[in-house]
Amino acid sequence: MNFERFTAWKMITARQSDTGAQIGNIRTIIRIAIAGIAISMIVMLLSVSIVQGFQREIRKKVIGFGGHIQITNIQTSDSYEGFPIKIDQPFYPEVDTLESVDNIQVFAQKAGIVKTKSEIHGVVFKGVSEDYNWRFFEEGLEEGQIPRFSYSRSTDSVLISREIANKLNLEIGDGITVYFVKNDKPRPRKFVLSGIYQTGLEGFDDLFVFGDITYVQKLNDWNDDEVGGFEINLNNYDDLFATNDIIFESLPFELRSTTIVSRHSDIFGWLELQDVNVYIIIGLMILVASINMSSALLILILNRMRMIGILKALGAVNWSIRKVFVYLAGYLIIMGLFWGNLIGLSVALVQKYLKVIKLPQETYYIPHVPIEFQFTDIFALNSFTLLLCIIVLFIPSYIITRIKPTESIQFN
């Protein structure tokens, strides 16, 4: 063990020559420094985990209503009515052979009004078929069952949200009438409530009713081989833009592809703003940790003035003595990071799997505090904190170069 590490270790473990008050002061300083680093790391870990979890859950809910990528007629605007396209396309269903693609499904939408004996409610009837991926709605299903559709026969079963069911006083098995407009005249269609789902996204839950695509085709006077568009679900959200570029290049000129981000730019823009909050929190916590360690190191240096003077009198150079205190501070930082990670990750894992902390879903769209973390982010956070704190520690250690042996040996 070299001189610097040996001296730092002795400063931590061996204090027989110190008075009881000095020992107590040094131990208190060390504990405060470690606690400060640990608390900062806990706050950073939980902030990153909660924001990432919140972003993941909201993205998952929005994507569940419209897929990662939609392919529609280039004439189709942002309204819920669209122009038909042929189902016989070179990318359907071959596009699901792309590694990033989970599935591709057809859809068609039409605005309507649900009417019961005492209530009415405006909705968007989303017609789907047998290739529709119901995984998202199966997770949010509260009552009844998911309707199953087929290209060969039509069915009058529909899936609605808990919000619409409560507003219209509907229960499983009830009949409902949806009025559509065709040639400027109302066209009623009767359906049977098959299932009730709940996602927590009020703007979507209050709007969509899921039924058989054949009803939309007939109301729009489309052929059986015409649909409103295609939805593509991906295995990983991170592949969204790269996959969309590939698909866009393969489309004929009369079709276009749009991502979920461009279709709901307000929601995804809001989610991106959450990253700014995380960066601010991380910056503040690292600043607090750096100031805490700098103050602790400065106090330790002042507490060891006599020892520094003796080492200088024995021939030790400033850089060697400074490294002694940097080694000591580095040890304290590592201990703080260890306890911070242990406590922070333990709390995150408990919340992730036990969902102890609940949230009002009507306000936050999620019934509990969400947790999502990646070990690469944790490693980067720890590495950056450790590196920055050590760099900052060289500033207070500069005071060692100003200490004179003749004065410091007499210091008490």
The predicted structure's pLDDT at residue 15: 46
Contact 67, 369 (CB under 8 A): no
Length, in residues, of the chain: 412
Closest CA to 216 of 321, 91, 125, 349: 125
The beta strand positions in 228-381, using DSSP E, are 229-234, 255-259
Q: Which long-range contacts (CB under 8 A, 24 or more apart) does 132-140 make?
A: 132/105, 132/106, 132/107, 133/102, 133/103, 133/105, 133/233, 136/60, 136/61, 136/63, 136/64, 136/199, 137/64, 137/195, 137/197, 137/210, 140/64, 140/197, 140/198, 140/199
The predicted structure's pLDDT at residue 59: 93
From first to last of the 412 residues of the chain, give the pLDDT tens digit. 465 555 544 554 444 445 555 555 677 878 888 898 999 999 999 999 999 999 999 999 999 999 999 999 988 776 677 789 999 988 888 887 889 999 999 999 999 999 888 888 999 999 999 999 999 999 999 999 999 988 778 889 999 999 999 999 999 999 999 999 887 888 999 999 999 999 988 889 999 999 999 999 999 999 989 999 999 999 999 999 999 999 998 898 889 999 999 999 999 999 988 888 899 999 899 888 888 888 877 777 777 777 777 777 777 777 777 777 778 888 888 999 999 999 999 999 999 999 999 988 878 888 899 999 888 989 999 999 888 888 887 777 777 666 666 555 555 5
Contact 226, 82 (CB under 8 A): no
Helix (H) / strand (E) containing 143: strand 141-144
DSSP-derived secondary structure letter, 201: -
Report d(CA 384, CA 378) in Å as an integer. Answer: 10
Contact 126, 66 (CB under 8 A): no
**Residues contacting 333, CB < 8 A, separation 6+:** 37, 293, 385, 386, 389, 390
Report d(CA 124, CA 81) in Å as an integer. Answer: 9
Q: For the chain, what are the domain ranges?
A: 3-60+268-408, 75-252
Closest CA to 336 of 29, 49, 51, 50: 29
The predicted structure's pLDDT at residue 14: 46
Contact 124, 109 (CB under 8 A): yes
**Amino acid (1-letter code) at residue 165:** A
Contact 154, 187 (CB under 8 A): no
